[in-house]
Structure 1
Amino acid sequence: MPNYRRALIPGGTYFFTVNLLQRRDNNLLIRVINLRRETVRKVRKSHPFYIDAWVVLPDHLHCAWTLPPDDSNFSLRWGLIKSGFSRSLPKNGKTHHKVRKAAGERGIWQRHFCEYVIRDDLDYQRHVDYIHVNPLKHGYVKRIIDWPYLTFHHYVARGIYLPNWCCDINNSVDGDE
């Protein structure tokens, strides 16, 4: 088993990708979006973090968080979010893999997640843009503003993005050929 090394920086800002175990034709994350939102609220009460940007897609999510100045434990927060969300789902006895079932797990999430330490302001902007463009990139919408499950709407309300950001007249992502 690989020895995962995490960059633990108190007060750091991180970009994350978290996936469902079964991604193909799975819309669980948007189907029960309010359960995910409530789980994150509960975790933030006991283990605060600032949500810089977030997008929830049917089978995975991307987000950027900033942790408190004296705290670097994002793994604890993700463990609480993933397990809290899984436990809040209706029990149907379904697991996705016999190994997960043998371990007493429901098998909803991939065990690991990807994290990346944001290095500077330009890096931050690139990752926030990436988060917000994801529904367009995956073909879920023709305009980012039409995807309801992301923080882009807050950025538009604050005047950081225009509602038609990242779209040209052909409705393609800026920079795509």
Structure 2
Amino acid sequence: MVQYRRNLIPGGTFFFTVALADRRSTLLIDHIAGLRSAFQKARLDKPFRVDAMVVLPDHLHVIMTLPEADADFPGRWKAIKAAFSRSVAAAIPTLRPNRRGGYRIWQSRYWEHTVRDDADFERCANYIHFNPVKHGLVSAPRAWPYSSIHRYIREGILPTDWGGDGGHNCIGFGEPRE
């Protein structure tokens, strides 16, 4: 079996796709408060900056920047996934732990891409913000409530009508094309 090696760069900026085990599930948006809490708890223990993010029913995309001397994004994802899983388990009493005491909520792995430069960052952020349209959830990116596009619009980084015609050229990576 091939040994997968992560690109652990202290202070790096990374694009992530993290998915639920059941891709038909809507747990992420059904339990959005638990997901927010999981991110907040992880950030208290090991700080990081969320540069862009979108939460869809069964997966999420995040651009995360780590502190200067820290490269431990795997530890952050472990903490986020564990806190969210505990939150969901508390909310759904019929959910039973597996043999090891955990819950099969998340896919065991996630996809990560090291953001190389400003153009790469912009491409990743555009992909994140357009993703709800790509999946047919809304016709305009700003219509999706669980997206950092609202902050980008508020801060004047993107115009209100960005991607609104459904014709924005987004690069397909991080998940299979539909």
The normalised TM-score by structure 2 is 0.90
Q: Is 1:92 aligned with 2:86?
A: no
The CA RMSD measured in Å over matched residues stands at 1.5
Structure 2 letter corresponding to 1:107: R
Quote the residue 1:43 is aligned against.
42
Point out where structure 1 has 5 or more consecutive residues left out of the alignment.
none
Quote the residue 1:125 is aligned against.
122
Structure 1 letter corresponding to 2:19: N
Runs of 4+ in structure 1 displaced over 3 angstroms? none
Structure 1 letter corresponding to 2:15: F
By how many angstroms is 1:92 displaced? 2.8
Q: Is 1:108 aligned with 2:105?
A: yes
Structure 2 letter corresponding to 1:92: P
3-state SS of 1:102 partner: coil
**Residue-by-residue CA offset, 1:59-86 (whole Å, 9 max, x unaligned):** 0000101100000000000000000110
Q: Distance in 2 between matches of 1:175 and 1:6?
A: 29
> Within 5 Å, which residues of 2 pair with 1:7-156?
7-24=7-24, 26-89=25-88, 90=90, 91-94=92-95, 101-156=98-153
By how many angstroms is 1:106 displaced? 1.0
Q: Distance in 2 between matches of 1:175 and 1:9?
A: 30
By how many angstroms is 1:117 displaced? 0.3
3-state SS of 1:165 partner: coil
Structure 1 letter corresponding to 2:78: G
Quote the residue 1:4 is aligned against.
4
Identity of matched residues, %: 46
By how many angstroms is 1:88 displaced? 1.4
**Residue-by-residue CA offset, 1:9-51 (whole Å, 9 max, x unaligned):** 0000000000000012x11100110110011011101100011
Q: Distance in 2 between matches of 1:163 and 1:147?
A: 13
Q: Distance in 1 between matches of 2:5 and 2:70?
A: 17
Point out where structure 2 has 5 or more consecutive residues left out of the alignment.
171-178
Q: Distance in 1 between matches of 2:134 and 2:49?
A: 25
